[in-house]
Structure 1
């Protein structure tokens, strides 16, 4: 008995090793592979489910690992892969809401969640899911326009997955995701879309250029305004400073003139002041007379220009008269005015 079991186990391992490509290439199995034969002691690989029939009726589903079956009575009818698989959806035509024909193909990712339903619910799961994906894609594309197909491509994939899951639930299959791989359209539609894109880009460029020119003009105007304001403020401050400078200069000149006059007056009141004044006047007369006939040939000179003494005497006489007049005015201002006498009027 032990030798028979060892022989059966060895033959099973040889069959599994001889057909690895067949195991890997099969995604959803609807028939029994060659290596899945009832050998009494059976080892189910991980992520596989073996559907067992006893005398032609469903009996149970074998879990991964060690399992014992009754020969002749038990039969491994189906082997289902529980891995997530990818099924290529062939290219097909679809018409959008705005009557544009598109050709789309994609990839569907699904997985078996109920081996019993996948075995007895549908004859060929791959073919059924492929046809369901194609019809669902055409239905969903017909609900939206061409522009929406490109903008909401992800949402379109989600809608297709939801529709497939509702229809494939009795088959024990669940769609994980669907991806639209290629999307083609007629050449004229492509040319029209290209022209639309170019026109939109030119529009954006023109808008951006006009906005740039507007902003540049505003910046230039603001700059000129600020420049003129600053220039006017600078000119005003300059004039104020010049006026203050001239006023200060006049005040300083007047103060210097007053001090000079005070010094001259004090010097004249001293002993020998008259003689000093006569000397200064004589020097100024000689200096002024020496400058005659330098700028013009026409001269008007006094008759006694050669008599310096008489000129000095005349200048001193004028000075004395002015001094006496000032002294008399000072005395008049210092005398208080007499009050007016009341008048006696008889009634």
Structure 2
């Protein structure tokens, strides 16, 4: 009876041990990887495989999960470094980098401190890129500078199994002396622009005045030309009248003008005495006679 109990106890213990072993084997063989992680599996200290999200199976007791790597996007702390532009201006650049791990086996076995390595690499690239640009270009072409830094950084970190998603230049600071010099330059530039604007305004005013005088001269010349044409036409008409009607027609026209002139003199306002020379009276008489003769001839 005691032998049977002992044998039964031994069998129970063996079953319990077997159950524990099976449980441990299943537990170590089945690995559930979260969506945001990847597992690096080693066998006897050597890389075996990389497990992706979901249910995965490994060889129990031989394989082990050596590293659990997050594949979420990471942001490095803001890094500040000094740089000198091509026109010898010292600037302090604040930069930040965003990256994510895409090949954990490279990140684990090729670099010890990935964050420090990226920060050092970014500092070197920023100094190199800013050293090839002038200060005005750094301030105005920041997007181009960021693009060049991102491309250079992507080429360097490719062996580390990461992807640089963003690289940002947060700020470009200048020392106090440089700020004061730039402020003086800005004020001088504003004063120069104001002087240029004033000079251009005066020049425009002179141009407009000259244009006005030229326009007046052109109009006066046109008026004189019209008068000259009218006089020429009158002379031509008189010559034609002399040619067609003879000298009497010309004298008739002159007589009419004399009569009109004497009539205008007699129409003055107020009481006045008009002294007319004898020659004028004779001319008036001749004109009157010619007028009567002209009327009679017409009759």
TM-score where L is the length of structure 1: 0.55
Where does residue 78 of structure 1 map in the other structure?
67
Where does residue 223 of structure 2 map in the other structure?
234
Where does residue 185 of structure 2 map in the other structure?
196
Where does residue 43 of structure 2 map in the other structure?
54
Matched, 1:133 2:126: no
Shift, 1:224, TM fit: 1.7
Shift, 1:60, TM fit: 0.6
CA distance 1:224–1:62, shift in 2 (3 Å): same
Q: Which is greater in Rg?
A: 1
5 Å matches for 1:7-156?
Answer: 40-46=29-35, 48-156=37-145
2: distance between equivalents of 1:47 and 1:245?
A: 108
5 Å matches for 1:272-291?
Answer: none
Where does residue 208 of structure 2 map in the other structure?
219
2: distance between equivalents of 1:208 and 1:53?
A: 76
2: distance between equivalents of 1:239 and 1:142?
A: 77
- The CA deviation string for residues 278-320 of structure 1, in whole angstroms up to 9 with x for no partner, is xxxxxxxxxxxxxxxx967xx9xxxxxxxxxxxxxxxxxxxxx
Shift, 1:91, TM fit: 1.9
Matched, 1:164 2:153: yes
2: distance between equivalents of 1:84 and 1:216?
A: 64
CA contact (8 A) 1:89 1:134 kept: no
Shift, 1:118, TM fit: 1.0
2: distance between equivalents of 1:95 and 1:152?
A: 16
Larger mean CA deviation between 116-125 and 48-57 belongs to 48-57
Question: CA RMSD of the aligned region, Å?
Answer: 3.6
2: distance between equivalents of 1:105 and 1:127?
A: 16
TM-score where L is the length of structure 2: 0.62
1: distance between equivalents of 2:274 and 2:174?
A: 104
Shift, 1:169, TM fit: 2.5
Larger mean CA deviation between 110-119 and 78-87 belongs to 78-87
Unaligned residue ranges in structure 1 (runs of 5+): 9-37, 262-293, 300-347
**Structure holding more helix per residue:** 2
2: distance between equivalents of 1:231 and 1:54?
A: 109
